[in-house]
Amino acid sequence: MSLDLNEIRVKQVNGVSALKEGELHAFGVFTVNDLMEYYPFRYEDYRLRSLAEVKDGDRITVQAKIMGMPVLQRYGRKSRLTCKMVAEDWMFTATWFNRHFLKDQLTAGREIVLTGKWDQRRSQLTVSESEFPDRGTLRSGSLQPVYSVGGKITQNWMRKTIGQALQQYGEMIPEILPPELLKKYSLMPRRQAIWRIHQPQDSEEGQQARRRMVYEELFLFQLKLQAYRAMNHERMDGVKHEVDNATIREFVRSLPFELTDAQKKVELEILQDMRSPFCMNRLLQGDVGSGKTVVAAIALYAAVKSGHQGAFMVPTEILAEQHMRSLSRLFEPFGITVGLLTGSVTGRKRKDLIASMQMGLTDIVVGTHALIQEDVFFRSLSLVVTDEQHRFGVNQRSILRRKGFNPDVLTMTATPIPRTLAITAFGDMDVSTLSERPKGRKPISTYWVKHHMMDRVLGFIQREVSAGRQAYLICPLIEESEKLDVQNAIDLHVSMQQAFPNLNVGLLHGRMTAAEKDEVMRSFYDNEVQLLVSTTVVEVGVDVPNATLMIVMDADRFGLSQLHQLRGRVGRGEHASYCVLIAEPKSEVGQERMKVMTETDDGFEVARRDLELRGPGDFFGTKQSGVPEFRIADMVSDFAVLEAARDDAAQLVGDASFWTSPQYEPLRGYLQREQVFQGELID
């Protein structure tokens, strides 16, 4: 058995010092295998061209012979060096800027390889790089990989080091995919693909190498999910919730509204999972305002009525408080107790709560990350709900799972992901979708206005408030600086107080203490505050049905999905609602983005248009969406491959020989490394 490249530290590659090794860690490169899988994102073409076939303006590489004497002109510290050249029968002038030191090397008759921009009309090449073949060439004549580099790691160093790694260890690269799959898609063997992706002879070969590695990456990803899922589906050690329909109906009847058909359907899917001995792992997606919380409430109710406990984990304290309040109200008539565990619950209070959870006196706990601290335990946790799932890593969710005995897991998200993509990207989960909003909701009218119309916007606020409604005013977002965000909010708050002396204007931002935030939110819920000036801390989940106006300052600084989330804070009750985006985007795309918001309030449509505007590759831009990131594959443009890989992986996992036959040993080894057999998924 050859050495495993995953176990050889990158320091073993010649030329990697301890210092450089540290730098490589920042790129996620720890082992020789990591380095080999550090793929270029494009190639630079240094292949030799003939001047007969190039076009004006092309970036080209040619081999030429030096003709006359070089001419150097100096302009202060700048310089311009020109020299006559001949390539085949073509005479042309090569021009260098600020390379005066080359002058002495330009001796007549010497061969030189030049790369630069070709000016057809003047028969001139503006040189960016040059090499002399008699000194041994590095780049010319080939496609050169371009890596993402930074810090002390330069492009040339990376090229050289990966080349060195291939020299030292290239022969040891093992195949991992089974032969039938290689054959099915005519894929390159792994060893060849890794060599060629770094050092392709031509772009076709580079493409083929990439195709192989994309498939491999997506296949392994799917295999991991499917294997995990298969093992968990086989495990019958989930909690079998015993709750009859009559009991559920009693609770549903107590709700202040009738469930939508979509809610009823999803509820059935969830109850069916909960009643089965398998572990539920379900993703519930629904646009903002589609009523996910009440679905979660019914599931929590079912858990408690089966004699167990439930946990509800949310990303912010504000949201935790809100859910705590609304769940307490819903559950009170049924004698179900709800506790709150956030970072600001400390000391005696925290101790008492945890003790009560351990004794089973508290039925449901709503909380933030504080829920996954080490010393938090339940007597019998059987259901974990997480809201706005994209805020949690898989690992955090799995820690919470371990606080019970294989509890069922329900994950809720408003990030609109096309259903097929969701199923494929979250291959380890079943997916339910809330496809409609509650009846009687009016669409949210969205307007895009310029800054100079602020007076009219203020008039709008006055009008809504006079009608008994409430409004949000979201401050501009200052990238990377929460401090400036806060300052903005404070300033805006002052000017709004001056503009509306007769109103109560509230202020909410991230630097306030939990108690302060809570106080402000409470007064907003109770309509003691009519206008709430806030940073994006209200972005997710906040539910105040009487609020009907959402105003976003400098809206062009926000992402579309973020704007959609913000807009989702209104339109949650029976009153007509409005969203006003104040923005003056300069770019065409920026203007188009504002238009998209005014044209649709359907989250899936917003996501689709966003994709069109941004182009693939950037769809999930931020890590927020919870969609996995890949080294080489692109979730959107390689989607067809992802689907094929999913089917292949499912088939393989379903085949008994996969778990025993020696030919699948490398794949099982991979699953082992990823700790799938320990029943955990690593991010």
Q: For Mg ion, which residue of 40, 200, 541, 573 counts as binding (CB under 5 A)?
A: 541
Residue with tokens 């996910």: 292
Residue by residue, DSSP assigns 277-294 as SSPPEEEEEE-TTS-HHH
Report yes or no: 2 and 172 within 8 Å, Cβ to Cβ.
yes
289 binding Mg ion? (CB under 5 A): no
Q: Of the candidates 519, 459, 294, which has an alpha carbon nearest to the alpha carbon of residue 387? A: 294
Between strands 90-97 and 281-286, the pairing is: unpaired
Least CB distance from residue 263 to ligand ADP, whole Å? Answer: 6
Least CB distance from residue 568 to ligand ADP, whole Å? Answer: 6
Taking residues 280 to 319 in sequence order and writing x for each that binds ligand ADP by CB under 6 A, - otherwise, the string is ------x-xxxxxxx-------------------------
Candidates 20-28, 65-73, 148-156, 538-546; binding stretch for Mg ion (CB under 5 A): 538-546
- Written as one letter, the residue type at 65 is K
What are the φ and ψ backbone dihedral angles of 126, each rounded to 5 degrees? -90, 110
Candidates 255-263, 416-424, 559-567, 581-589; binding stretch for ligand ADP (CB under 6 A): 255-263
**What are residue 309's DSSP bridge partners?**
381
Closer residue to ligand ADP, CB minimum distance, 390 or 493: 390
Residue by residue, DSSP assigns 142-203 as SEEEE---BTTB-HHHHHHHHHHHHHHHGGGPPP-S-HHHHHHTTPPPHHHHHHHHHS-SSH
Closer residue to ligand ADP, CB minimum distance, 81 or 288: 288
238 binding Mg ion? (CB under 5 A): no
Count Cα atoms within 13 angstroms, Cβ side, for 378: 29
Q: How far apart are CA 642 and CA 178, in angstroms?
A: 17
Least CB distance from residue 265 to ligand ADP, whole Å? Answer: 12
Angle between helices 292-305 and 245-254 (to 10 degrees): 140
Closer residue to ligand ADP, CB minimum distance, 197 or 606: 606
Closer residue to Mg ion, CB minimum distance, 200 or 541: 541
Candidates 99-107, 133-141, 251-259, 397-405; binding stretch for ligand ADP (CB under 6 A): 251-259
Closer residue to ligand ADP, CB minimum distance, 193 or 422: 422
543 binding ligand ADP? (CB under 6 A): yes
252 binding ligand ADP? (CB under 6 A): no
Least CB distance from residue 295 to ligand ADP, whole Å? Answer: 8
Which of ligand ADP, Mg ion, none does residue 545 bind to, with CB < 5 to 8 Å depending on kind?
ligand ADP
Size of the chain, expressed as the number of residues it contains: 683
Q: Which long-range contacts (CB under 8 A, 24 or more apart) does 582-586 make?
A: 582/449, 582/450, 582/451, 582/453, 582/454, 582/457, 582/551, 582/552, 582/553, 582/554, 582/555, 583/448, 583/450, 583/552, 583/554, 583/555, 583/556, 584/450, 584/451, 584/556, 585/556
Least CB distance from residue 628 to ligand ADP, whole Å? Answer: 24
Q: For ligand ADP, which residue of 141, 170, 545, 559 counts as binding (CB under 6 A)?
A: 545
Here the tokens at position 59 are 């970036």
What are the φ and ψ backbone dihedral angles of 167, each rounded to 5 degrees? -60, -45
Taking residues 261 to 280 in sequence order and writing x for each that binds ligand ADP by CB under 6 A, - otherwise, the string is --x-----------------
Cα three-residue angle 486-541-444, rounded to 5 degrees: 95
Closer residue to Mg ion, CB minimum distance, 339 or 541: 541
Residue sitting closest to ligand ADP (CB): 291
Q: Of the candidates 307, 312, 304, which has an alpha carbon nearest to the alpha carbon of residue 371? A: 312
Report yes or no: 341 and 365 within 8 Å, Cβ to Cβ.
yes
Q: For ligand ADP, which residue of 227, 414, 635, 636 counts as binding (CB under 6 A)?
A: 414
Number of amino acids touching ligand ADP (CB under 6 A) = 20
Closer residue to Mg ion, CB minimum distance, 238 or 541: 541
Candidates 41-49, 79-87, 256-264, 594-602; binding stretch for ligand ADP (CB under 6 A): 256-264
Closer residue to Mg ion, CB minimum distance, 392 or 639: 392
Least CB distance from residue 304 to Mg ion, whole Å? Answer: 21
- Written as one letter, the residue type at 588 is E
571 binding ligand ADP? (CB under 6 A): no
572 binding ligand ADP? (CB under 6 A): yes
- Footprint on this chain of Mg ion (rule: CB under 5 A): 541
- Which residues contribute to the site for ligand ADP (CB under 6 A)? 257-260, 263, 286, 288-294, 414, 438, 541, 543, 545, 568, 572
